[in-house]
Amino acid sequence: MIAADRFARLRQCASDPNAYAALQPGLRYFDHPAGFVAYRRTLAGNVVLGDPVAEPAQASVLLSAFLQAHPGSVFGYLSETGAAALAQASGRRMRFVRIGTERCLDLTQPLSFSASTQGALKKARKARLQVTERNLSELGAADLAQLRAINAEFIRLSPSKKEIGFISRLLQLAPEPDVRFFVIEAAATPIGFCVLDPWYEGAQLKGYQLHQFRLLPTKIWGVFLSVVALLAEQLRAEGYRCLSLGGCIGPISPGEQALPVSGVYDYCRDLTFRLIDRYHPLTNLSKNKFEFAGTDLNRYLAAPHRLPLIPLARLARANNIL
Protein backbone atom coordinates (compact mmCIF):
# COMPACT_ATOMS: atom_id res chain seq x y z
CA MET A 1 0.00 0.00 0.00
CA ILE A 2 1.51 3.34 -1.03
CA ALA A 3 1.44 6.44 1.18
CA ALA A 4 -1.41 8.06 -0.76
CA ASP A 5 -3.54 4.93 -0.31
CA ARG A 6 -2.84 4.86 3.42
CA PHE A 7 -3.86 8.50 3.75
CA ALA A 8 -7.09 7.81 1.84
CA ARG A 9 -7.83 4.78 4.04
CA LEU A 10 -7.08 6.74 7.21
CA ARG A 11 -9.31 9.64 6.14
CA GLN A 12 -12.10 7.18 5.30
CA CYS A 13 -11.92 4.93 8.38
CA ALA A 14 -10.18 6.70 11.25
CA SER A 15 -12.07 8.44 14.04
CA ASP A 16 -9.34 8.79 16.66
CA PRO A 17 -7.80 12.25 17.28
CA ASN A 18 -4.28 10.78 17.19
CA ALA A 19 -4.79 8.73 14.02
CA TYR A 20 -2.79 11.10 11.79
CA ALA A 21 0.38 10.12 13.68
CA ALA A 22 0.23 6.79 11.82
CA LEU A 23 1.39 8.63 8.66
CA GLN A 24 4.67 9.93 10.11
CA PRO A 25 8.00 9.02 8.48
CA GLY A 26 10.06 6.17 9.88
CA LEU A 27 7.25 3.72 10.62
CA ARG A 28 6.68 0.19 9.38
CA TYR A 29 3.30 -0.99 8.15
CA PHE A 30 1.31 -4.18 8.16
CA ASP A 31 -1.01 -3.90 5.17
CA HIS A 32 -4.17 -5.99 4.91
CA PRO A 33 -7.35 -5.85 2.82
CA ALA A 34 -9.15 -4.55 5.93
CA GLY A 35 -6.69 -1.68 6.50
CA PHE A 36 -3.26 -1.27 8.06
CA VAL A 37 -1.36 -1.24 11.34
CA ALA A 38 1.48 1.25 11.95
CA TYR A 39 4.36 0.17 14.17
CA ARG A 40 8.01 0.74 15.01
CA ARG A 41 10.66 -1.92 15.49
CA THR A 42 12.71 -1.26 18.63
CA LEU A 43 14.64 -3.29 21.24
CA ALA A 44 14.13 -6.48 19.21
CA GLY A 45 10.36 -6.11 19.22
CA ASN A 46 7.44 -4.23 17.69
CA VAL A 47 5.54 -1.32 19.22
CA VAL A 48 2.21 -0.59 17.52
CA LEU A 49 1.12 3.04 17.31
CA GLY A 50 -2.48 3.50 18.40
CA ASP A 51 -5.55 1.89 16.91
CA PRO A 52 -5.60 -0.13 13.70
CA VAL A 53 -6.77 1.87 10.70
CA ALA A 54 -9.85 -0.01 9.50
CA GLU A 55 -13.61 0.12 9.57
CA PRO A 56 -14.77 -0.66 13.14
CA ALA A 57 -16.28 -4.01 12.13
CA GLN A 58 -12.94 -5.07 10.58
CA ALA A 59 -10.59 -3.93 13.36
CA SER A 60 -10.48 -7.32 15.11
CA VAL A 61 -9.91 -9.12 11.81
CA LEU A 62 -6.98 -6.84 11.03
CA LEU A 63 -5.50 -7.22 14.52
CA SER A 64 -5.82 -11.03 14.41
CA ALA A 65 -3.89 -11.11 11.15
CA PHE A 66 -1.24 -8.78 12.54
CA LEU A 67 -0.78 -10.85 15.71
CA GLN A 68 -0.36 -14.01 13.65
CA ALA A 69 2.44 -12.33 11.73
CA HIS A 70 3.94 -10.47 14.73
CA PRO A 71 3.22 -12.30 18.00
CA GLY A 72 4.57 -10.66 21.13
CA SER A 73 4.00 -7.11 19.87
CA VAL A 74 3.39 -4.24 22.30
CA PHE A 75 0.50 -1.85 21.63
CA GLY A 76 0.80 1.77 22.71
CA TYR A 77 -1.73 4.61 23.01
CA LEU A 78 -4.80 2.51 22.24
CA SER A 79 -8.24 4.05 22.64
CA GLU A 80 -11.02 2.27 24.52
CA THR A 81 -12.37 1.01 21.18
CA GLY A 82 -8.98 -0.12 19.95
CA ALA A 83 -8.20 -1.86 23.23
CA ALA A 84 -11.52 -3.71 23.15
CA ALA A 85 -10.86 -4.84 19.56
CA LEU A 86 -7.41 -6.11 20.58
CA ALA A 87 -8.83 -8.00 23.56
CA GLN A 88 -11.27 -9.69 21.17
CA ALA A 89 -8.63 -10.47 18.56
CA SER A 90 -5.89 -11.77 20.83
CA GLY A 91 -5.69 -15.54 21.20
CA ARG A 92 -3.51 -15.26 24.30
CA ARG A 93 -3.79 -13.30 27.54
CA MET A 94 -3.18 -9.61 26.87
CA ARG A 95 -2.56 -7.26 29.78
CA PHE A 96 -3.82 -3.68 29.62
CA VAL A 97 -2.77 -0.65 31.62
CA ARG A 98 -4.15 2.86 31.42
CA ILE A 99 -1.25 5.18 30.53
CA GLY A 100 -3.10 8.48 30.49
CA THR A 101 -5.88 10.39 28.82
CA GLU A 102 -6.44 12.81 25.99
CA ARG A 103 -8.32 16.01 26.86
CA CYS A 104 -10.85 16.98 24.17
CA LEU A 105 -12.81 20.23 23.97
CA ASP A 106 -16.40 20.27 22.68
CA LEU A 107 -16.60 23.23 20.31
CA THR A 108 -20.32 22.79 19.69
CA GLN A 109 -21.00 24.28 23.11
CA PRO A 110 -20.29 27.86 24.27
CA LEU A 111 -16.70 28.10 25.47
CA SER A 112 -16.15 28.79 29.15
CA PHE A 113 -12.58 29.40 30.29
CA SER A 114 -11.07 29.06 33.75
CA ALA A 115 -9.96 32.08 35.75
CA SER A 116 -6.34 31.24 34.92
CA THR A 117 -7.09 31.15 31.21
CA GLN A 118 -9.01 34.40 31.35
CA GLY A 119 -6.05 35.98 33.14
CA ALA A 120 -3.70 34.64 30.45
CA LEU A 121 -5.90 36.11 27.72
CA LYS A 122 -5.80 39.49 29.43
CA LYS A 123 -1.99 39.42 29.54
CA ALA A 124 -1.89 38.22 25.92
CA ARG A 125 -3.93 41.22 24.77
CA LYS A 126 -1.63 43.56 26.67
CA ALA A 127 1.43 41.97 25.03
CA ARG A 128 -0.24 42.11 21.59
CA LEU A 129 0.00 38.35 21.27
CA GLN A 130 -1.46 36.92 18.05
CA VAL A 131 -1.86 33.43 16.64
CA THR A 132 -1.67 33.66 12.85
CA GLU A 133 -2.15 30.78 10.41
CA ARG A 134 0.60 30.46 7.82
CA ASN A 135 0.90 28.33 4.69
CA LEU A 136 4.25 26.56 4.87
CA SER A 137 4.41 26.19 1.10
CA GLU A 138 4.37 29.99 0.78
CA LEU A 139 7.07 30.75 3.35
CA GLY A 140 10.48 31.86 2.15
CA ALA A 141 13.84 30.45 3.18
CA ALA A 142 14.37 33.13 5.84
CA ASP A 143 10.99 32.45 7.47
CA LEU A 144 11.58 28.69 7.54
CA ALA A 145 15.06 29.21 8.98
CA GLN A 146 13.55 31.33 11.77
CA LEU A 147 11.03 28.60 12.58
CA ARG A 148 13.75 25.94 12.63
CA ALA A 149 15.77 28.16 14.97
CA ILE A 150 12.78 28.47 17.33
CA ASN A 151 12.37 24.68 17.33
CA ALA A 152 16.09 24.10 17.93
CA GLU A 153 16.19 26.59 20.81
CA PHE A 154 13.08 25.07 22.38
CA ILE A 155 14.69 21.61 22.32
CA ARG A 156 18.05 22.94 23.55
CA LEU A 157 16.40 24.49 26.60
CA SER A 158 14.33 21.41 27.42
CA PRO A 159 15.55 19.16 30.28
CA SER A 160 16.05 16.20 27.93
CA LYS A 161 17.69 18.15 25.08
CA LYS A 162 15.77 16.06 22.55
CA GLU A 163 12.36 15.74 20.95
CA ILE A 164 9.86 13.03 21.77
CA GLY A 165 8.52 11.23 18.72
CA PHE A 166 6.16 8.39 17.73
CA ILE A 167 2.97 8.96 19.76
CA SER A 168 3.40 12.67 19.18
CA ARG A 169 5.01 12.65 15.77
CA LEU A 170 8.16 14.64 15.06
CA LEU A 171 7.94 18.11 13.58
CA GLN A 172 7.99 18.22 9.76
CA LEU A 173 7.90 21.95 8.86
CA ALA A 174 6.63 21.00 5.43
CA PRO A 175 3.15 21.05 3.86
CA GLU A 176 1.04 18.01 4.82
CA PRO A 177 -2.55 17.16 3.81
CA ASP A 178 -5.13 18.81 6.11
CA VAL A 179 -2.46 19.90 8.66
CA ARG A 180 -2.60 23.55 9.82
CA PHE A 181 0.33 25.65 10.99
CA PHE A 182 0.10 28.73 13.27
CA VAL A 183 2.81 31.22 14.21
CA ILE A 184 2.68 32.78 17.69
CA GLU A 185 3.71 36.44 17.66
CA ALA A 186 4.14 39.06 20.39
CA ALA A 187 4.21 42.66 19.14
CA ALA A 188 4.65 41.29 15.59
CA THR A 189 7.73 39.23 16.58
CA PRO A 190 7.55 35.41 16.25
CA ILE A 191 8.08 33.72 19.60
CA GLY A 192 6.74 30.26 18.78
CA PHE A 193 4.43 28.15 16.67
CA CYS A 194 1.95 25.29 16.89
CA VAL A 195 0.67 22.58 14.57
CA LEU A 196 -2.86 21.17 14.34
CA ASP A 197 -3.33 17.65 12.99
CA PRO A 198 -6.68 16.71 11.39
CA TRP A 199 -9.24 14.69 13.34
CA TYR A 200 -11.58 12.77 11.06
CA GLU A 201 -14.92 11.08 11.52
CA GLY A 202 -16.98 9.55 8.74
CA ALA A 203 -14.40 10.71 6.15
CA GLN A 204 -14.96 14.32 7.20
CA LEU A 205 -12.94 16.76 9.29
CA LYS A 206 -14.62 17.04 12.69
CA GLY A 207 -11.79 19.02 14.29
CA TYR A 208 -8.10 18.99 15.11
CA GLN A 209 -5.52 17.74 17.57
CA LEU A 210 -2.90 20.12 18.97
CA HIS A 211 0.17 18.25 17.80
CA GLN A 212 3.19 20.51 18.35
CA PHE A 213 3.65 23.55 20.56
CA ARG A 214 6.98 25.38 20.45
CA LEU A 215 7.71 28.53 22.44
CA LEU A 216 10.82 30.61 23.12
CA PRO A 217 11.45 31.94 26.66
CA THR A 218 9.09 34.86 27.25
CA LYS A 219 7.98 37.10 30.10
CA ILE A 220 4.36 36.76 28.97
CA TRP A 221 2.54 34.58 31.47
CA GLY A 222 0.23 31.75 30.36
CA VAL A 223 1.01 31.70 26.63
CA PHE A 224 -0.10 28.08 26.28
CA LEU A 225 -3.44 28.85 27.92
CA SER A 226 -4.09 31.92 25.79
CA VAL A 227 -3.05 30.22 22.53
CA VAL A 228 -5.33 27.23 23.16
CA ALA A 229 -8.21 29.58 24.00
CA LEU A 230 -7.66 31.59 20.81
CA LEU A 231 -7.43 28.45 18.68
CA ALA A 232 -10.60 27.03 20.23
CA GLU A 233 -12.49 30.25 19.53
CA GLN A 234 -11.29 30.32 15.90
CA LEU A 235 -12.11 26.66 15.22
CA ARG A 236 -15.55 27.03 16.80
CA ALA A 237 -16.22 30.06 14.57
CA GLU A 238 -15.19 27.97 11.57
CA GLY A 239 -17.75 25.32 12.46
CA TYR A 240 -15.52 22.54 13.74
CA ARG A 241 -16.80 20.35 16.54
CA CYS A 242 -13.74 19.26 18.52
CA LEU A 243 -10.24 20.26 19.57
CA SER A 244 -8.01 17.68 21.22
CA LEU A 245 -5.13 18.95 23.35
CA GLY A 246 -3.22 15.68 23.07
CA GLY A 247 -2.06 13.23 25.66
CA CYS A 248 -2.02 13.97 29.39
CA ILE A 249 -0.49 12.11 32.30
CA GLY A 250 -1.49 12.35 35.92
CA PRO A 251 -3.45 10.43 38.54
CA ILE A 252 -5.35 7.52 37.02
CA SER A 253 -8.88 7.60 38.34
CA PRO A 254 -10.06 4.27 39.73
CA GLY A 255 -13.08 2.68 38.17
CA GLU A 256 -14.44 -0.39 36.52
CA GLN A 257 -12.50 -1.64 33.54
CA ALA A 258 -13.67 -4.51 31.38
CA LEU A 259 -10.12 -5.15 30.10
CA PRO A 260 -7.73 -7.57 31.86
CA VAL A 261 -5.73 -5.49 34.36
CA SER A 262 -2.47 -6.04 36.21
CA GLY A 263 -1.44 -4.50 39.51
CA VAL A 264 2.22 -5.01 38.56
CA TYR A 265 1.70 -3.06 35.33
CA ASP A 266 -0.05 -0.26 37.24
CA TYR A 267 2.80 0.04 39.75
CA CYS A 268 5.50 0.06 37.07
CA ARG A 269 3.55 2.63 35.04
CA ASP A 270 3.49 5.05 37.96
CA LEU A 271 7.20 4.53 38.66
CA THR A 272 8.08 4.99 34.98
CA PHE A 273 6.09 8.22 34.74
CA ARG A 274 7.91 9.66 37.76
CA LEU A 275 11.28 8.90 36.15
CA ILE A 276 10.28 10.27 32.75
CA ASP A 277 8.93 13.47 34.26
CA ARG A 278 12.44 14.43 35.42
CA TYR A 279 13.55 14.84 31.82
CA HIS A 280 10.29 15.43 29.96
CA PRO A 281 8.07 17.71 32.11
CA LEU A 282 4.81 16.16 30.99
CA THR A 283 3.03 16.73 34.31
CA ASN A 284 3.16 20.52 34.07
CA LEU A 285 1.95 20.48 30.48
CA SER A 286 -0.88 18.14 31.47
CA LYS A 287 -1.93 20.52 34.27
CA ASN A 288 -2.26 23.31 31.70
CA LYS A 289 -4.39 21.09 29.47
CA PHE A 290 -6.65 20.22 32.39
CA GLU A 291 -7.41 23.94 32.79
CA PHE A 292 -9.81 23.50 29.87
CA ALA A 293 -13.16 21.84 30.43
CA GLY A 294 -13.61 18.80 28.24
CA THR A 295 -13.94 15.06 28.07
CA ASP A 296 -11.06 12.64 28.52
CA LEU A 297 -10.32 9.72 26.21
CA ASN A 298 -8.55 6.92 28.07
CA ARG A 299 -5.31 5.63 26.55
CA TYR A 300 -3.88 2.14 27.06
CA LEU A 301 -0.70 0.13 26.76
CA ALA A 302 -1.25 -3.55 26.00
CA ALA A 303 1.20 -6.44 25.93
CA PRO A 304 1.21 -10.23 26.38
CA HIS A 305 4.21 -10.10 28.73
CA ARG A 306 3.65 -11.15 32.33
CA LEU A 307 6.03 -8.43 33.57
CA PRO A 308 5.85 -4.89 32.17
CA LEU A 309 9.57 -4.04 32.01
CA ILE A 310 10.09 -4.96 28.36
CA PRO A 311 6.81 -3.38 27.10
CA LEU A 312 7.44 -0.11 28.97
CA ALA A 313 11.08 0.01 27.82
CA ARG A 314 10.05 -0.58 24.21
CA LEU A 315 7.38 2.11 24.37
CA ALA A 316 9.83 4.59 25.89
CA ARG A 317 12.47 3.76 23.31
CA ALA A 318 10.00 4.03 20.42
CA ASN A 319 9.14 7.56 21.64
CA ASN A 320 12.84 8.55 21.86
CA ILE A 321 12.55 8.90 25.65
CA LEU A 322 15.30 6.33 26.32
Domain-wise residue ranges, the chain: 3-103+248-318, 104-246
Look up the CATH superfamily of 104-246: Gcn5-related N-acetyltransferase (GNAT) (3.40.630.30)
Average pLDDT over residues 100-105: 93
Give pLDDT, residue 76. 93
User: DSSP assignment of 17-66, as one string?
Assistant: TTGGGGGSTT-EEEEETTEEEEEEEETTEEEEESS-EE-GGGHHHHHHHH
pLDDT digits (tens, 9 = 90+) for 130-160: 999 999 999 999 999 999 999 999 999 988 8
Percent of the chain with pLDDT over 90: 74
Nearest CA to 80 out of 170, 27, 15 is that of 15
Give pLDDT, residue 252. 54
pLDDT digits (tens, 9 = 90+) for 261-301: 667 777 777 777 776 666 667 778 888 999 999 999 999 99
- What is d(CA 278, CA 165) in angstroms, rounded to the nearest whole number? 17
8 A C-beta contact, residue 226 and residue 120 = yes
pLDDT digits (tens, 9 = 90+) for 35-81: 999 999 999 999 999 999 999 999 999 999 999 999 999 999 999 99
Whole-number average pLDDT of the chain: 91
**pLDDT > 90? residue 203:** yes
Query: What angle in degrees, to the nearest 10, is found between the helix axes of 223-237 and 282-289?
Result: 40
Give pLDDT, residue 24. 95
- What is d(CA 47, CA 73) in angstroms, rounded to the nearest whole number? 6
**pLDDT > 60? residue 253:** no
Give pLDDT, residue 257. 56
Give pLDDT, residue 277. 67
